[in-house]
Amino acid sequence: MYQIVDHSKNRKTIVVIAYPAVGHVNGCRNALANSLIKYGHRVIFIIGKAFRGKLLPYGFEELICAEFDDDDDDNHNSNNDPAAKLARHLLEFDNMLAIKNLSIEKRLENLIKMFSTLLPDFIIKTDEYLKKMIKTIGKIDLFIVDDVQQYPAIMDAKDIPLIQCITSMPNTQAKDTSLPPPFTGLESNLSIKEYEPYYSIIEKTFNEDRINESVAKLGYKNLWISSLFTPPKYPNYPLRQCLTVYAYPKELNHPKIESRPDWFNLEVFAKNSYDKTIDLEKLVGAELFHDQLGGRFSGKWIYLSLGSMGSIDINLMLRLTRILALTDHKYIVSKGLRHNEYELPGHNMWGTNHVPQIEILPLMDLVITHGGNNTVTETFAQGKPMIVMPLFGDQLDNAQRLHETGYGRRLDPYGFQDQQLLDTINELLYDEMLNEKLRKASERIKQSNSFKEFVGIAEKIMDKNEK
């Protein structure tokens, strides 16, 4: 049934499961390729068909779970693109991407409703496969599970230790009502009383009882799936994970999260310590690369990416690029899933559907982003200032955290003024004090031994479990 390569007994076998979306899979991929795989362990990644072959180059083994894919994937002209699949889910829940008409409360309710609706069905669909997988692989030394899913088969295998890997902004999993409620973008200096209405929305919308009815129907006893985002409803059920690993720059992190003894911070999953870059002239073409824009070229390159979801809004992408076309800077544009449906309006820009972000970032002077966690941490690790235009989810929290710590600026993607964007670009490009702070933070992150430290902790967990 499964084709598993036999490895030396000296290597540990680790099984990884991530929510089948690009950001979550890539976060886990980069975290483990730079740590456990690098140090010689066998890592098996359970993925859907949409990701087939994408993890093999990084040293993972792949187990394809068809149940990770939507039943109707073959009916969409997306070639099972995982980003397109998530986009469909988001659009199905009250047109979530039309956020310019939604309050913070409604936006939060819609997102939690999506998780609460999808999770029970996903649990039922994948459970039988996961139970068979555990038996077929044989000896498993460790599970690593992405933050937005809880699998009864994994939680019930209590003899195998589990590490939770948070691929979102860490605040989403903190479950601390003294911290800003996840997915709201609220300030960090508000009171618990001011946060309370938002935590109440999460608690009421995340249907814990319905989810656990699904768990009970599968035959599990003494097992409770608690809310993903709020303190446990029944605290007598112990946490399954023995460690939580995440990535968030210390300069941006909340002190209460940074100091947690059972949480480990890698700061960035895709570190790029050696500043590996792409040939920019070859990428954009000699004409744009050497064009001095009529003698006006500032010498600055800016990267624009609103992620898989944000790039769906062509009107927003066109508005942004039309404004940027008026400047004396040059731009790399990640056009996204609908790249064939519009042309870039400026002679000072180049774009395509997918840009090699990790290799692009060291060459940029500024990044305009939606605020996805991978983009924020990867950009920060390269010491680049950011303008964050958040759309939904933890993008709002990342944008606010960058803004209130002074390491970036938050702009409303639908409410900003043209001149406001232009002024913010120039402010960040030429703020010498900010850019020096970012450079020092980047050097600190690149010199960190956090991946090696994480391997040591994970190995101790596995060794202790064998005794």
Question: Is the per-residue pLDDT at 240 higher than 80?
Answer: no
Task: Look up the CATH number of the domain holding residue 433.
Answer: 3.40.50.2000
Same domain? For 260 and 160 the reply is yes
Cα 186 to Cα 183: distance, rounded to the nearest angstrom:
9
SS3 177: coil
Assess if residue 2 is contained within a domain.
no
Higher local confidence (pLDDT), 338 or 8: 338
* 379 neighbors 386 (Cβ within 8 angstroms): yes
* Predicted pLDDT of residue 311: 87
* Predicted pLDDT of residue 139: 93
Question: Is the per-residue pLDDT at 285 higher than 70?
Answer: yes
Cα 161 to Cα 141: distance, rounded to the nearest angstrom:
7
Which structural domain, as residue segments, surrounds residue 145?
A: 13-267+449-466
Cα 467 to Cα 454: distance, rounded to the nearest angstrom:
21
SS3 206: coil
**Residues whose CB falls within 8 Å of the CB of residue 146, separated by 6 or more in sequence, listed in order:** 17, 18, 19, 24, 27, 28, 165, 167
Same domain? For 153 and 259 the reply is yes
Assess if residue 8 is contained within a domain.
no
Model confidence band, residue 8 (pLDDT cutoffs 50, 70, 90): very low
Question: Is the per-residue pLDDT at 79 higher than 70?
Answer: no
* 211 neighbors 116 (Cβ within 8 angstroms): yes
Question: Is the per-residue pLDDT at 7 higher than 70?
Answer: no
Question: Is the per-residue pLDDT at 236 higher than 50?
Answer: yes
Q: What angle do CA 194, 390, 276 make, to 5 degrees?
A: 130
For residue 174, give Cα distances in angstroms to 229, 261, 376. 7, 13, 19
* Predicted pLDDT of residue 365: 99
For residue 285, give Cα distances in angstroms to 350, 355, 407, 458, 459. 9, 14, 32, 45, 47
* Predicted pLDDT of residue 232: 75
What's the pLDDT tens digit per position in 87-138?
A: 555 555 445 455 677 889 998 998 898 888 888 888 888 999 999 999 999 8
* 115 neighbors 208 (Cβ within 8 angstroms): no
Assess if residue 453 is contained within a domain.
yes
Same domain? For 356 and 237 the reply is no
Same domain? For 213 and 305 the reply is no
* Predicted pLDDT of residue 287: 98
Same domain? For 254 and 168 the reply is yes
Same domain? For 338 and 253 the reply is no
Secondary structure of 213-237 as H, E, C letters: HHHHHCCCCCCCCCCCCCCCCCCCC
Assess if residue 70 is contained within a domain.
yes
Please give the structure tokens belonging to residue 122: 């996903």
* Predicted pLDDT of residue 427: 98
Assess if residue 237 is contained within a domain.
yes
Higher local confidence (pLDDT), 274 or 27: 27
Question: Is the per-residue pLDDT at 179 higher than 50?
Answer: yes
> Which of 72-86, 346-360, 443-457 comes out lowest in average pLDDT?
72-86
Question: Is the per-residue pLDDT at 149 higher than 80?
Answer: no
Average pLDDT, the chain: 89
**Number of independent structural domains in the chain:** 2
Same domain? For 245 and 296 the reply is no
Question: Is the per-residue pLDDT at 221 higher than 50?
Answer: yes
Same domain? For 259 and 344 the reply is no
Same domain? For 210 and 141 the reply is yes
Same domain? For 239 and 300 the reply is no
Residue 110 CB neighbours (<10 A): 19
Same domain? For 253 and 352 the reply is no
Question: Is the per-residue pLDDT at 304 higher than 50?
Answer: yes
Assess if residue 98 is contained within a domain.
yes
* Predicted pLDDT of residue 87: 58
> Which of 20-24, 72-76, 372-376, 404-408 comes out lowest in average pLDDT?
72-76
Assess if residue 263 is contained within a domain.
yes
Model confidence band, residue 71 (pLDDT cutoffs 50, 70, 90): low
Same domain? For 175 and 311 the reply is no
Assess if residue 20 is contained within a domain.
yes
Higher local confidence (pLDDT), 211 or 197: 197
Cα 408 to Cα 86: distance, rounded to the nearest angstrom:
28
Question: Is the per-residue pLDDT at 76 higher than 80?
Answer: no
* Predicted pLDDT of residue 230: 84
